[in-house]
Amino acid sequence: MRSFRVSVPEDVIVDLRQRLSRSRLLPDSPRRPETGMNAAYLRELVDSWSTFDWPAREEWLNQHPQFIADIEGTDVHFAHLRSERPDAPALLVMHGWPHTFALQLEFARLLPDFHVVVPSMPGFAFSAPYDGTMTESVMARLMHALMSDVLGYERYLTYGEDISANVSDLIAATYPAHVHGILATHAHFGTDEERAGAEDPAARAFFDRLSASGGPDGAYGHIQGTRPDTLAAALNDSPAGLLAWLVEKLVEWSDTPTGRPEVLERRISRDRILTEAMIYWSTQSIATSFRRYFDAEEDERIPPVEVPAAIAIQRHEHDYPESVARSFYRDLRSFDRMPEGGHFAVAEVPQAMAARMRDFARELGLLSA
């Protein structure tokens, strides 16, 4: 394991600004869907990125101790915020796509009574891509190795978002002796077979809604899973294109009103948005971030989770049925629906999520009341 500091070379920043100054932006299409990005907001972000004070943001990132560990031949980057309490509980916090570890640091900073580990998933940001097929099981194995073999935590709590939600479930199900408990805002969906066998009418209605919206809402994933290199070639060459592709999902999946992308910044500030874009751009990791979609195994089955679980349903899955959670999380300690916060819950409502994590740890006897 070795120390790491974020350091983007000056020539990369100069080149970026030159490219941004030459951006050829298009107007909105006629009758465009009222979702995601629009031309006016993209222009604002491009202009802001061209004058973005990256050195100041880089300094902020480097306030968080960061490291690189070799795990199964893969360099895995992570931030490690240690508590002053040696006996504090350990917590693994994982990101998904299209965000990075940076979007979860504000949440981590709110938990000084935990040892918080925030990794870059393989192929994202400063972590190297895995040299093989990167399934959810592989990611679970690498993340558990980070917590146990590299950092020496005998037991820990786990939390994941987006693609790492299943990874978090797999860690809890596969290594129960090492996991105190799991907090989930993206609760288990199940395989197609499991969904087809749902008997609860609320569960059937929820899965039917997912299927109905899967075409247009899942188009990004279909492209990333079938033609990843073609898409990546364009995004890796055009910062404006990269920004549009990333921010569209921040807009659509956050707890913001449809059709008003500028409202995103009530949840995720512009500095944080541009930090995400800068990390993808400077590391040229957009192509490898697609690997999870291209390497996905169909319907990878996850065993039921037997360790204690706290489920807080984020707003974009507001109709997720409690019956599905209870059938999968066998020791369900709490189930409720978040009043605020969408897909990127710990970034959008970090204080509320930190309070939830602390309450869960107290219930498990890991923190004093």
* pLDDT, tens digit, 9 for 90 and up, residues 180-212: 999 999 999 877 777 777 778 888 888 888 777
Ordered DSSP codes for 108-160: HHT-TTSEEEEEPPTTSTTSPPPSS---HHHHHHHHHHIIIIIT--SSEEEEE
Above pLDDT 90, what percent of the chain? 81
Whether 163 is covered by a domain: the verdict is yes
**Domain count across the chain:** 1
Find the mean pLDDT for residues 303-313. Answer: 97
304, two tokens: 């039921």
Residues 30-56 as b or e (16 or more Cβ within 10 Å = b)? eeeeeebbbeebbeebbeebeebebee
Whether 45 is covered by a domain: the verdict is yes
Q: What is the CATH number of the domain that holds 90?
A: 3.40.50.1820
Whether 369 is covered by a domain: the verdict is no
Nearest CA to 210 out of 318, 291, 309, 332 is that of 318
Q: Which one has a higher pLDDT value, 219 or 156?
A: 156
pTM of the complete model = 0.95
Find the mean pLDDT for residues 279-308. Answer: 89
Whether 187 is covered by a domain: the verdict is yes
What does the alpha-carbon distance between residue 192 and residue 239 come to, in Å, rounded to a whole number? 37
368, two tokens: 């004093």
Domain hosting 153: range is: 2-363
Find the mean pLDDT for residues 72-85. Answer: 97
What contacts 24+ positions apart, CB below 8 Å, involve 80-86? Answer: 80/115, 80/116, 80/117, 80/118, 80/151, 81/108, 81/109, 81/111, 81/112, 81/115, 81/116, 81/117, 81/118, 82/115, 83/112, 83/113, 83/114, 83/115, 84/112, 85/113
What does the alpha-carbon distance between residue 247 and residue 264 come to, in Å, rounded to a whole number? 9
Mean residue pLDDT of the chain comes to 93
Residues near 207 by beta carbon (within 8 Å), at least 6 away in sequence: 189, 195, 198
223-278 pLDDT, tens digit per residue, is 999 999 999 999 999 999 999 999 999 998 999 877 678 889 999 999 999 999 99
106-148 pLDDT, tens digit per residue, is 999 999 999 999 999 999 999 999 999 999 999 999 999 999 9
What does the alpha-carbon distance between residue 368 and residue 361 come to, in Å, rounded to a whole number? 9
* pLDDT at 5 (0 to 100): 98
Residue 176 CB coordination number (10 Å): 14
Q: From residue 225, how far is each of 256, 288, 297 by CA, in Å?
A: 27, 12, 11
Whether 368 is covered by a domain: the verdict is no
Residue 254 CB coordination number (10 Å): 24
Whether 60 is covered by a domain: the verdict is yes
What is the DSSP-derived secondary structure letter of residue 67? E
Whether 153 is covered by a domain: the verdict is yes
Rounded to 5°, angle at Cα 214 from 262 and 305: 100
183, two tokens: 């907090």
Whether 241 is covered by a domain: the verdict is yes
What's at 138, amino acid-wise?
V
